[in-house]
Structure 1
Amino acid sequence: MTRHLARLGISGIRTVILDIEGTVTPIAFVKEVLFPYAAEHLPEFVRANHADDAIKALLDDAREAAGDPTLDLDQTIAALLRWIDEDRKVTALKTLQGMVWKHGYTSGAYRAPVFDDAVVRMRQWFTRRIRLFIYSSGSVEAQKLLFAHTDHGDLRPLLSGYFDTTLGPKKERTSYLKLAREVRRPATSLLFLSDSAEELDAARETGINAVRLVRPGEVERGSSHLEVESFLALQL
Structure 2
Amino acid sequence: MSEPTWIVLDIEGTTSSTESVHVGLYAYARPRLGPYIDAHREDPEVAAAVKETGGETTEETVAILHGWMDGDVKATPLKTLQGRIWAEGFAAGELSAHFFDDVPPVLRAWHAAGRRLAVFSSGSVASQRPWFRHTTAGDLSPMILHHFDTVNAGPKREAPSYTRIAEALGAPPGELLFLSDVPAELDAAAAAGWRTVGVRRPGEPNGQADFGAHPTVASFEEIK
* TM class by smaller structure: over 0.9
Question: Structure 1 76/112 Cα, relative in aligned 2: closer, same or farther at 3 Å?
Answer: same
Deviations 1:99-119 (A, max 9, x none): 111232122222111122111
In structure 2, the residue matched to 1:223 is: 211
CA–CA separation in structure 2 for the residues paired with 1:54 and 1:133 = 24
Asked if the contact 1:187–1:207 (Cα under 8 Å) also holds between the matched residues in 2, the reply is yes
| Local SS of the residue matching 1:17 | strand
Asked if the contact 1:214–1:227 (Cα under 8 Å) also holds between the matched residues in 2, the reply is yes
CA-based RMSD of the aligned residues comes to 1.3
Q: CA deviation at 1:16?
A: 0.3
User: Of the candidates 7, 20, 25, which is equivalent to residue 16 of structure 2?
Assistant: 25
In structure 2, the residue matched to 1:67 is: none
| Local SS of the residue matching 2:102 | helix
In structure 2, the residue matched to 1:120 is: 105
Q: Is it true that 1:203 corresponds to 2:189 in the alignment?
A: yes
In structure 2, the residue matched to 1:59 is: 50
In structure 2, the residue matched to 1:189 is: 175
| Local SS of the residue matching 1:76 | helix
Deviations 1:181-211 (A, max 9, x none): 1111000011000000000000001110010
| Local SS of the residue matching 2:8 | strand
Asked if the contact 1:14–1:189 (Cα under 8 Å) also holds between the matched residues in 2, the reply is yes
| Local SS of the residue matching 2:80 | helix
In structure 2, the residue matched to 1:49 is: 40
Which structure would you say has the larger Rg?
1
Gap regions ≥5 residues in structure 1: 1-5, 64-69
CA–CA separation in structure 1 for the residues paired with 2:40 and 2:14 = 34
CA–CA separation in structure 2 for the residues paired with 1:181 and 1:38 = 33
Instruction: For CA contacts below 8 A with separation 6 or more, give which structure has more relative contact order.
Output: 1
CA–CA separation in structure 2 for the residues paired with 1:52 and 1:215 = 39
Deviations 1:47-96 (A, max 9, x none): 22223333212211222xxxxxx733321221111111111111111110
In structure 1, the residue matched to 2:199 is: 213
Q: Which amino acid aligns with 1:48?
A: A
Q: Which amino acid aligns with 2:37?
A: V
CA–CA separation in structure 2 for the residues paired with 1:183 and 1:16 = 11
Asked if the contact 2:106–2:220 (Cα under 8 Å) also holds between the matched residues in 1, the reply is yes
Asked if the contact 1:221–1:227 (Cα under 8 Å) also holds between the matched residues in 2, the reply is no
Gap regions ≥5 residues in structure 2: none
Q: Which amino acid aligns with 1:174?
A: P
Asked if the contact 2:196–2:215 (Cα under 8 Å) also holds between the matched residues in 1, the reply is yes
Deviations 1:9-44 (A, max 9, x none): xx3311000000011111110011001111121111
Q: Which amino acid aligns with 1:198?
A: A
Q: Is it true that 1:36 corresponds to 2:42 in the alignment?
A: no
Seq. identity, %: 39
TM-score (norm 2): 0.94
Q: Which amino acid aligns with 2:68?
A: W
Q: CA deviation at 1:221?
A: 4.2
CA–CA separation in structure 2 for the residues paired with 1:85 and 1:221 = 22
| Local SS of the residue matching 1:211 | strand
